[in-house]
């Protein structure tokens, strides 16, 4: 089985989660940051996993554009979708539903949120100010869920 993990990350949390996931998936796995690298021919892969970070309630634009552009090819693949965000379970599930095309989500064998991170030194002044005010966090914070990543990998490996 060949698996392609495609992601977009603003501050590195989605990249970190993508690498954690890669280490848990059996077979040949290629990982691509779509903001820095070109995506290889997706026809060469059996499984396609797409992930992105949520900012201001929306997934990164490149992720959305990729899904729309490759919709017909993706419908013939084993799919997995994940997001990284600091939202709780119910809100994160709503964000997943609004981040990816419904037709692709209905075909997915794995869908989850992997948690998120606030790493203030990676943010600009305005972002730090907004995040601190909204979240009431004053220190770096991580809610990355290895449990969710493990469950996701198991679904991919077993299908």
Determine the Cα–Cα distance for residues 3 and 43; give it in Å rounded to an integer.
11
Query: What pTM was computed for the model?
Result: 0.90
Helix extents (H) in the chain? 13-22, 61-69, 71-74, 89-99, 102-105, 125-135, 146-158
37-46's contacts with Cβ under 8 Å and 24+ in sequence apart are 39/4, 39/6, 39/66, 40/4, 42/4, 42/70, 42/73, 42/74, 42/77, 43/73, 44/2, 44/4, 45/2, 45/3, 45/4, 45/77, 46/1, 46/2, 46/3, 46/77, 46/78
Query: Is residue 117 scored above 80 in pLDDT?
Result: yes
More confident residue, 67 or 140: 67
* b/e map 128-151, b = 16+ CB within 10 Å: eeebeeeeeeeeeeebbbeebbee
Give the model's confidence band at 141: pLDDT under 50 very low, under 70 low, under 90 confident, else very high: confident
Write down the mean pLDDT value for the chain.
91
| pLDDT at residue 132, as a whole number | 66
Which residue shows structure tokens 């201001």? 56
- pLDDT per residue over 26-85, tens digit each? 999 999 999 999 999 999 999 999 999 998 788 999 999 999 999 999 999 999 999 999
The top-level CATH class assigned to 2-158 is alpha beta
């Amino acid at each position: 089985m060949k698996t392609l993990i495609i992601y977009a990350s603003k501050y590195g949390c989605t990249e970190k989660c993508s690498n954690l996931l890669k280490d848990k998936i059996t077979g040949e796995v290629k990982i691509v940051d779509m903001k820095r690298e070109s995506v290889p021919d997706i026809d060469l892969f059996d499984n396609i996993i797409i992930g992105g970070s949520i900012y201001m309630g929306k997934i990164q634009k490149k992720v959305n554009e990729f899904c729309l552009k490759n919709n017909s090819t993706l419908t013939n693949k084993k799919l997995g979708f994940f997001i990284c965000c600091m939202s709780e379970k119910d809100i994160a599930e709503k964000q997943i539903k609004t981040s990816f095309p419904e037709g692709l989500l209905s075909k997915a064998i794995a869908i989850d949120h992997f948690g998120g991170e606030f790493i203030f030194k990676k943010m600009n002044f305005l972002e730090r100010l907004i995040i601190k005010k909204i979240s009431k966090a004053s220190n770096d914070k991580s809610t990355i869920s290895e449990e969710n990543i493990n469950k996701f990998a198991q679904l991919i490996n077993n299908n």
